[in-house]
Amino acid sequence: MTILLPIHILAGTTALLCAALAVSSEKGKKLHVLSGRAYFWSMAIIFLTAIPMSIISSNIFLFLIAIFAFYLAFAGMRFARNRKGIATTSDWIAVSLTILSGLGMLILSAIFFSNDDSQYIVLLVFGFLAITLGYADFKSYKNNTATGKERISRHLSNMMGGTIAVITAVVVVNPPFEPEWVWWVLPTALITPVIFWWNKKTLS
């Protein structure tokens, strides 16, 4: 943990900076592409450190969230590169794992609820999002519709979703006040409407 945690934090900081660069730069240009790639690899490092840390600490909550967060970055990267919209084996495996992680979060949410743990709210929200976003990607892969504007929309939704995950991780380290679940859900509540607006603009 003493080795993994600093790497995890550094990768998270780098991911936030790269996300800010990607969002603020002109789409398709060199800065956008390079910052997007750096963001993806930072998210990969976050995932590769979060999984063993969750196993060491026996934290299934962190384990499931890590899968979902990395999927968003992975899918965002794939939609950016896959202009033909034809899914590969890795796409099918990834989307299946994120839907399963969403189901796992819903089951864990029920367990937390029965134990009067307010974190069940976080698991309920994230589980719903994992299944909803995963199913949307699944339909795009199945129907080969992730081309043109829809491909850009799927890229945007997933990349911004991954950014929400990183912002959430930063916010919940030292929440200013209780209950803690508010700080887990707040970034999603604030940024999701922006994603909807941006998607509407992209698809119009």
Q: Which residues contact 36 (CB under 8 A, 6 or more apart)?
A: 18, 22, 77, 80, 159
SS3 197: helix
pLDDT at 176: 66
Quote the CA–CA distance of 85 and 88 in Å, as a whole number: 9
pLDDT at 41: 93
Both structure tokens of 194: 């922006």
Q: Which helix (H) or strand (E) holds 20?
A: helix 4-24
Quote the CA–CA distance of 19 and 39 in Å, as a whole number: 6
Both structure tokens of 75: 């899918």
pLDDT at 173: 67
pLDDT at 80: 83
Both structure tokens of 139: 């339909």
pLDDT at 194: 81
Q: Which residues contact 161 (CB under 8 A, 6 or more apart)?
A: 72, 76, 129, 133, 195
pLDDT at 174: 67
CA distances from 3 to 8, 131, 174 (A): 9, 33, 21
* Global pTM exceeds 0.95: no
Per-residue pLDDT of the chain (204 residues; tens, 9 = 90+): 788 988 988 988 898 898 888 888 777 778 888 988 898 999 999 999 999 998 998 888 889 888 988 999 998 898 888 888 788 899 899 999 999 999 999 999 999 999 888 888 888 888 888 998 889 888 888 887 777 887 888 888 888 888 888 888 777 766 666 777 787 788 788 888 888 787 777 766
